[in-house]
Amino acid sequence: MSLPLRSLPIVEHWDCHSCARCCRGSIIPLTQEDLAKIVSQRWHEQPEFRGSRIVVRRSLANRQLILAKRPDGACVFLMDDGRCRIHLEHGLEAKPIVCQTYPLQLVPHDTAAYFTLRRSCPSAAAGRGRAATLDRPDIRRLLQRQQDKLQPRAVPPVTARIRLPWKTTGRVLQTLGRLMTDSHYPIVRRVVHALLVCDALEQCDPRRLEERQYGELLSMLADSALEEASPFFRDRTPPARSTLGLFRQSVFHFLRLHPCAKLRETWRDRLALTTGAWRFLRGRGVIPRLGTAAAPATFESLEEPLGPLDPRIMEPLNLFLETSAASSRYVLLRPSGWNVVDGFRSLALTYAAGMWLARFFSHEAELTRDAMVDIVVALDRGQGFEPLTGSRHRHRIRGLSRPGQLAGLVAWYAR
């Protein structure tokens, strides 16, 4: 029996504008059904595909099959005019299921699945198009196959040492989602409020509380967070060097995922990545641009205040954070091993990373809404990028778990 679908309390907007961004640099995993369809299409008989690999293994360590890419990172089926060769010759349903449904996303909980959008799609990140609701026939049709294969999500631990029943864990997710969608406060305050609740959850052991008592505890923690947040914005204390070191390691990977980062699978570019990672770790001198067209800047210059921003420029980042929190995808779509508190801390880190990238791409220039859309595309791409979802990143987040540490970092980059 498939999970029923639910909408978020936030109206998202999207229509495909055929930009073909999803066909460049993306990893397209193939199911057995996808593979059978591609084999039946007999591409090896086409002159331009003869002798070329169409399907490859994801890596030496990961034997999952994916669509092959050209040296520039484009899908092997992407045509010069931006159209898909499979779609052109065989129709929409002949494409891999990921290609058919992107950027629509379902986040399974225990009794339902929430519908949202992947903001690695520029049109979704910018909110361009009609309201993306479950009432739209095209969206309903595309979601049907995903819905049929969905299974209830196993309950994630609340912290590294506490696992609670789904009903109780759901209260935690709802509390964090409510704080993150509270429009009475600017988005940075909401992030800090939720982080302070996460810090408090890690300091207590609620396993002996009854359901009603746990609800009261969460309400009390949320109310306390509203009062305890003020010093972070009044004092704006610079983060410790160790905190900045862990933070810059994450920023490095997000910069790699920026649409303007032009890096290929060559030895020269691999060397540039290795050198860049070392320089981000040190955090001194000129920042490696990783193939982007950003103006030269130093790490020190990007610690300066960014200044007030037009709310319309901030809107793509705000919606990315709100929908991630409301759907709980920050933990429910992560690999096993992540708990709710660390998952939310990772989401909070993307806010700070987004504001760092805003400084980077507006250095000696004015920050535009289009530039923020590209930043959100990079942040969302991190959702499926192993260096930002795997065990190393989880340990990085644990290294930032001292109470108030991440809240201070977030407040610092919101300046």
For the cut 60, the answer to whether the pLDDT of residue 409 exceeds it is: yes
- Residue where one domain finishes, among candidates 133, 149, 165: 149
Mean pLDDT taken over the chain: 92
361 and 214 share one domain: yes
For the cut 90, the answer to whether the pLDDT of residue 226 exceeds it is: yes
Q: Write out pLDDT tens, residues 165-193.
A: 999 999 999 999 999 999 999 999 999 99
222 and 305 share one domain: yes
Q: What local confidence, expressed as pLDDT, does residue 114 receive?
A: 96
The number of angstroms, rounded, from the C-alpha of 350 to the middle of its chain's C-alpha atoms is 8
160 and 145 share one domain: no
Q: What local confidence, expressed as pLDDT, does residue 294 receive?
A: 87
Query: Do 376 and 320 contact (CB within 8 A), yes or no?
Result: yes
- Residue where one domain finishes, among candidates 149, 176, 205: 149
Q: Which of 159, 145, 177, 147 is nearest to 10 (CA)?
A: 177
**Residue ranges making up the domain that contains 12:** 5-149
- Residue where one domain finishes, among candidates 96, 128, 149: 149
For the cut 80, the answer to whether the pLDDT of residue 61 exceeds it is: no
The number of angstroms, rounded, from the C-alpha of 386 to the middle of its chain's C-alpha atoms is 12
197 and 125 share one domain: no
Question: What's the per-residue H, E or C state across the chain?
Answer: CCCCEEECCCCCECCCCCCCHHHECCCCECCHHHHHHHHHCCHHHCHHHCCCCCEEECCCCCCCEEECECCCCEECCECCCCCEHHHHHHCHHHCCHHHHHCCEEEEECCCCEEEEECCCCHHHHHCCCCECCCCCHHHHHHHHHHHHHCCCCCCCCCCCCCCCCHHHHHHHHHHHHHHHCCCCCCHHHHHHHHHHHHHHHHHCCCCCCCHHHHHHHHHHHHHHHHHHCHHHHHHCCCCCHHHHHHHHHHHHHHHHCCCCCCCCCCHHHHHHHHHHHHHHHHCCCECCCCCCCCCCCECCHHHCCCCCCCHHHHHHHHHHHHHHHHHCHHHHCCCCCCCHHHHHHHHHHHHHHHHHHHHHHHCCCCCCHHHHHHHHHHHHHHHHCHHHCCHHHHHHHHCCCCCCHHHHHHHHHCC
139 and 189 share one domain: no
For the cut 60, the answer to whether the pLDDT of residue 280 exceeds it is: yes
Q: What local confidence, expressed as pLDDT, does residue 333 receive?
A: 94
234 and 272 share one domain: yes
Q: What local confidence, expressed as pLDDT, does residue 384 receive?
A: 85
Question: What is the average per-residue pLDDT within 126-145?
Answer: 93
Q: Look at 28-32, 206-210, 327-331, 404-408 and tell me which has the smallest mean pLDDT.
A: 206-210
173 and 75 share one domain: no
Question: What is the average per-residue pLDDT within 114-127?
Answer: 96
Residue 265 — very low, low, confident or very high, per pLDDT cuts 50/70/90? low
Residue 73 — very low, low, confident or very high, per pLDDT cuts 50/70/90? confident
Q: What local confidence, expressed as pLDDT, does residue 1 receive?
A: 53
Question: What is the average per-residue pLDDT within 78-85?
Answer: 90
- What are residue 56's DSSP bridge partners? 66
- Note the residue count of the chain: 415
For the cut 90, the answer to whether the pLDDT of residue 25 exceeds it is: no
Please tell me whether residue 298 adopts helix, strand or coil conformation.
strand
Tally of structural domains, the chain: 2
109 and 180 share one domain: no
406 and 271 share one domain: yes
95 and 182 share one domain: no
324 and 397 share one domain: yes
Q: What local confidence, expressed as pLDDT, does residue 365 receive?
A: 86
- Give percent of the chain above pLDDT 70: 99
Q: Write out pLDDT tens, residues 198-213.
A: 999 998 877 777 777 8
87 and 160 share one domain: no
